[in-house]
Structure 1
Amino acid sequence: MCRMSAFAATALAALLALQAAPAEAGWFGRKDKPAEGSVDAKAKPSSQNAAPAVPAAPARATPQERAAVERMDPLARAAFWAREFDRDPTDAEAGVSLARALRSMGRNDEAAATAQQVATLAPANAEAQLELARAHIARGQGFYAIAPAEAAAALSPKDWRAVSLLAIGYEQAQRPDEALAAHRRALALAPANPAPMTNLAMFLAASGQTAEAEQLLRRAAALPGADMKVRQNLALVLGLQGRFDEAEKLARQDLPPELVANNMAYLRAVAGGGPAAGANRSWDAMRAQ
């Protein structure tokens, strides 16, 4: 979620056959042969005309199977959830999970289409609205993320994720005042969470307010749950202030030497007003090189 816009996420189906009705039996199992020509004798169906076996619908994966698949790689997750969603297009969990897996593979248009399908069928599903907003943001189409993010925020007023996604949607739609207000509101909802704190910091850094961004990032890095993204964003902000030694030392905690060298060269070019200074790049994009 952290990014800088200015500098630039069968079970084997049991086949159940319908069984033919058992032969009629008399009391206590006594089989009575109907009189020849009687109604019962005429109505008795021939075994040759019995209904054929009909396979049952594929069984839905168990909760244990669904939990286990989340430990797999994105391609395996996408295949699993695609099967589940094909079995039941009203299965919101499967649809949201499929959209998330597609987004993790970079197939953002497909992720948005899948999330839109779920959100259309289940508009009161907050997770579907959140995933739709994420997919649009991943596509770089934050304007279209605003409506689902607002819907998710209305469904879950205390969920900082919806407000933070709304802020990023505003950023991509070039509505900075609304973005800043939403970022601050997300942080107010989760003041001890490093994610909304980092998002606000990177928005401020992109606006040139690197000193305040640094303070927020240092606070975020000290919180439980802070990951390498927080530290690397802090390294970026330090580098943008010309504090290259500090930035490089921090970057080396998480990145291999060749990537650190590339990133530091970029930061020095930005600080010196070189060709990279006008490039629309983000720290996440730099790490992905």
Structure 2
Amino acid sequence: MSKRWAFVVLLAGVLSACAAGGGKDHDESRNLEVARAALRGGAPQIALRATTARLTDDPTDVEAALLQGDALTALGRLEQAEWSYRAALRGRPGLAAAHLGLGRCLLATHPAEAERQFQFSVDREPGNAAAWNDLGVARDLLRRHDDAQMAYRSALAANPQMIGAQVNLALSLAMSGDAGAAERMVRPFAEDATASIKLRHDLAAVLAMGGQRDEATRILSSDLSPQQVAEALSAYVAARDTREPSQSAALRNVAPQMAPP
């Protein structure tokens, strides 16, 4: 069954189950169940409509605000998502998922504040690998690579199979001067037969930061134009030399791994 049809079946089941009851409480539950199902099925627009309907009835519903933030984030509407997460936190201060979502909204523009939000999240849920990974990204953006690597290792302690944290750790090591260790970490993923373009470009970034420009060029040339290759290589080398990932194309590879809602 395709993902799309699986979602349709799931959503139909939710609606059928909700239709079996009645009353206002049931309508409230239906909106939130529809939103959760839509987010799981990759349909954030449906989730947004469901949560907005619920919040129209009760603007203080913390769970609805949280799910609305997740839907807006999935749609790329980060400024609006920020307000949803803040609304959730007003209703339930210390809600780890809301701190995590808020941090993701702030990461690109306010990494220091994002770090604070991710720290709140891991303090409350120390086994949350995604939150540790995001904390590492914020610290790399702040050029605190040693602290970032500690966070990635904490993510891997919570989930040893988290490829995003392993690759982010490798990129952080390369930015801080240990390209050899970084290459050993990322090469097996990048050379796998099923490796994505992103993983291959992650290896190219590590190689470029380690001075292996020719091999990095060969990898990038499979997907990019000569001008794009030159721009990427310059950015990777700048990330290594200045330790300033926020100005580099490598930043796109050190992106938080978004955990499913």
Interval of TM-score (by shorter of Structure 1 and Structure 2): 0.5 to 0.7
2:72 is aligned to: 102
Please say if 1:265 is aligned against 2:216. no
Distance in 2 between the 1:262 and 1:105 partners? 31
Q: 2:99 aligns with which of 116, 124, 129?
A: 129
Deviation at 1:200, TM superposition (A): 1.2
Contact 1:129–1:148 (8 Å) recurs in 2: yes
Partner of 1:23: none
Identity %: 27
Corresponding residue for 2:135? Answer: 166
Of the candidates 205, 215, 235, which is equivalent to residue 184 of structure 2?
A: 215
Q: Partner of 1:218: helix, strand, or coil?
A: helix
Give the whole-Å Cα distance in 2 for the aligned partners of 1:148 and 1:100: 16
Mapped partners of 2:251, 2:236: distance in 1: 19
Instruction: Tell whether the 8 Å contact from 1:115 to 1:132 is kept in structure 2 after alignment.
Output: yes
The 2-side partners of 1:191 and 1:201 are apart by 14
User: Matches of residues 145-224 of structure 1 in structure 2 within 5 Å?
Assistant: 145-221=114-190
1:232 equivalent in alignment to 2:225: no
- Give the 3-state SS of the residue equivalent to 1:191 in structure 2: coil
The Cα offsets for residues 184-226 of structure 1, whole Å up to 9 and x where unpaired, read as: 3223332222111112112122223222222221244579x97
**Structure 2 match to 1:114:** 84
Q: Kindly name which structure, 1 or 2, has the bigger radius of gyration based on alpha carbons.
A: 1
Q: Which residue of 2 aligns with 1:84?
A: 54
Aligned residues: 229
For the 8 Å contact 2:145–2:173, the answer to whether it is kept is no
Q: How far apart in 2 are the matches of 1:120 and 1:191?
A: 34
Aligned partners of 1:195, 1:205: CA distance in 2, in Å? 15
Q: CA offsets, 1:23-43, max 9 Å, x none?
A: xxxxxxxxxxxxxxxxxxxxx
Kindly indicate whether the alpha-carbon contact (under 8 Å) linking 2:209 and 2:237 is maintained by their aligned counterparts in 1: no
Question: Aligned AA for 2:184?
Answer: Q
- TM-score, normalising length: structure 2: 0.67
Considering Cα pairs closer than 8 Å and 6+ residues apart, tell me whether 1 or 2 has the greater RCO.
1
How much has 1:88 moved relative to structure 2? 3.3
Residue segments in structure 1 that go unaligned for 5+ positions in a row: 1-10, 15-54
- Structure 1 residue 72, shift from structure 2 partner: 5.0
**Superposition deviation, residue 252 in structure 1:** 6.7
Instruction: Give the C-alpha shift of residue 117 in structure 1.
Output: 1.5
Deviations 1:18-68 (A, max 9, x none): xxxxxxxxxxxxxxxxxxxxxxxxxxxxxxxxxxxxx96992326256413
Query: TM-score scaled to structure 1, two decimals?
Result: 0.62
Offset at residue 174 of structure 1 (A): 4.3
Tell me the alpha carbon deviations over residues 126-151 of structure 1, each in whole angstroms, 9 at most, x when there is no partner: 2112112211213x212112332222
Alignment partners' CA distance in 2, 1:73 and 1:251: 33
